[in-house]
Structure 1
């Protein structure tokens, strides 16, 4: 693997309540090792090593499922292992990209992601037609 881009991804199971989906994924490991050990072993933040690929994580600071703190933990673990790690925070961004376009002051994360991938994969061509420049959404104060 040459590079990882994570959009609002789960980076650890330790600080979330395991839902039905997580139990489907982890129950056999939990039966073997116990919940604490299984959760730790399955959490990407604990798998960071010097041989991990460079990471780009893009996460809203209002993600209602995982929270920005999980991204910070993986970021630090990668850096501690000597791995390139970059985080782009979407101010006011919830889980998923669907609402990011309506927020004020959102970084041009699509362009940043593409440029990051180009740099990590040594691609020297143009960024591409798929990314359109858009004007920042003006902030409209509420009328309270």
Structure 2
């Protein structure tokens, strides 16, 4: 009898710790009831906070699920793996409900680590999915990569350069391609050389902080960090979403990206959102979700 009570007490203690741990996560409450969470996993075999990721898995008991890698924004210098989910709650909720796993990652800030640290981190997270995904019910053969603002830039860069053998984009210099089937870019920068605005002139923000100089002063570095530099006919399809009132990244960046993808024969669709600024819940609208899930259903099997 004493043993029985001891087991019950131990179980309650473990359960209470689990509930506390989940209550500290600001995202789990936005997702469907029963969503399975694996939190603060290191994808780079170290203890850096910026090398942590969270995995959210549908509670339906399948062996594996197609994967959406979620890349936060913040000008490459702020934000974390919870960012954007707060104003994209309906999108994240529906993603889990429709049977997609979400892998949301941190990456190193440009204030401490210059480019290509950020794309190396994205590729290290993809390598983690390739090598350890089965343990967490992730289908490494069905990956979409989605990002917002700086994360949109990294999503586009990661997906487009995946077949270009750029050794510098891998932390260990060893290329490991991933099965990226779709790229979803919300208001990201596509060409650092043609970008205008405050992020290009202030050395403490934006492009200068990312590459360590103005794009005009370091054109080779700017081209290296520009997704459009890696477009070819073998790239994955794109869904591009941008507001027509974006005050931070002119939607001409997305218009040009879509044009150049089309010229190379890459299937893509550009959605310009009327009245939408840079970020916010305007991008969580039902008509945008309909586009997003039509693409996910078409390309992730």
Same fold (TM > 0.5): yes
Q: State the distance in 1 between where 2:186 and 2:233 align.
A: 22
- 1:51-92 Cα offsets, whole Å, 9 max, x none, are 211110011011111111110111111111111111111011
Q: Does 1:80 align with 2:259?
A: no
Q: How does 1:27-46 map to 2 (within 5 A)?
A: 27=212, 35-46=218-229
Among 1, 7, 11, the alignment partner of 2:190 is: 11
| The 10-residue stretch of structure 1 (49-58 or 9-18) with the greater mean CA deviation from structure 2 | 9-18
Q: Identify the residue that residue 135 of structure 1 maps to in structure 2.
A: none
Judged with a 3 Å threshold, the aligned counterparts in structure 2 of structure 1 residues 69 and 97 are, in CA distance, closer, same or farther, namely same
Q: State the distance in 1 between where 2:192 and 2:221 align.
A: 9
Judged with a 3 Å threshold, the aligned counterparts in structure 2 of structure 1 residues 59 and 27 are, in CA distance, closer, same or farther, namely same
Q: Identify the residue that residue 22 of structure 1 maps to in structure 2.
A: 207
Ranges of 4+ aligned residues in structure 1 off by more than 6 Å: none
Unaligned segments of structure 1, at least 5 residues: 123-144
Cα distance, 1:27 vs. partner?
A: 2.3
Q: State the distance in 1 between where 2:283 and 2:275 align.
A: 8
TM-score (ref. length: structure 2): 0.35
Larger radius of gyration: 2
Unaligned segments of structure 2, at least 5 residues: 1-179
Q: Does 1:112 align with 2:287?
A: no
- Checking the alignment, whether the CA contact within 8 Å between 1:90 and 1:107 is kept in structure 2 is no
TM-score (ref. length: structure 1): 0.69
Q: State the distance in 2 between where 1:100 and 1:5 align.
A: 12
- Checking the alignment, whether the CA contact within 8 Å between 1:94 and 1:100 is kept in structure 2 is no
Higher strand share goes to which structure? 2
